[in-house]
A and B are shown apart, each in its own frame.
Chain A
Amino acid sequence: DAGVTQSPTHLIKTRGQQVTLRCSPKSGHDTVSWYQQALGQGPQFIFQYYEEEERQRGNFPDRFSGHQFPNYSSELNVNALLLGDSALYLCASSLTGGDQPQHFGDGTRLSIL
Chain B
Amino acid sequence: GEDVEQSLFLSVREGDSSVINCTYTDSSSTYLYWYKQEPGAGLQLLTYIFSNMDMKQDQRLTVLLNKKDKHLSLRIADTQTGDSAIYFCAASYGSGNTGKLIFGQGTTLQVKP
Interfacial residues, chain A to chain B (CB-CB below 8 A)? 6, 31, 33, 35, 40-45, 48, 50, 55-56, 58, 88, 90, 92, 94-107
| Complex CA distance for A107 and B44, rounded to whole angstroms | 11
Please tell me if the beta carbons of A50 and B98 are within 8 angstroms of each other in the complex: yes
Please tell me if the beta carbons of B35 and A48 are within 8 angstroms of each other in the complex: no
Please tell me if the beta carbons of B100 and A33 are within 8 angstroms of each other in the complex: yes
| Complex CA distance for A48 and B99, rounded to whole angstroms | 9
Shortest distance between the CB of A105 and any CB in chain B (Å): 6
Please tell me if the beta carbons of A90 and B42 are within 8 angstroms of each other in the complex: yes
In the complex with contacts A35-B101, A43-B103, A105-B96 CB distance below 8 A: no
- B31 within 8 A of partner (CB): yes
Q: Which of B62-87 contact A (CB under 8 A)?
A: none
Selected contact of A98 from candidates B33, B92, B97, CB within 8 Å: B97
Given contacts A40-B105, A43-B101, A102-B92, 14 further A-B contacts (CB under 8 A): A33-B100, A41-B106, A42-B88, A45-B100, A90-B42, A92-B43, A94-B97, A97-B96, A101-B31, A101-B48, A102-B45, A102-B97, A103-B45, A107-B41
| Complex CA distance for A97 and B106, rounded to whole angstroms | 29
Please tell me if the beta carbons of B100 and A48 are within 8 angstroms of each other in the complex: yes
In the complex with contacts A42-B88, A43-B103, A105-B42 CB distance below 8 A: yes
| Complex CA distance for A48 and B95, rounded to whole angstroms | 11
Shortest distance between the CB of A104 and any CB in chain B (Å): 4
Q: List 23 A-B contacts (CB under 8 A).
A: A33-B100, A42-B90, A42-B103, A42-B106, A43-B88, A43-B103, A50-B98, A56-B94, A56-B99, A58-B100, A90-B43, A92-B43, A95-B98, A96-B95, A101-B45, A101-B48, A101-B97, A102-B33, A102-B97, A102-B101, A103-B45, A104-B35, A104-B43
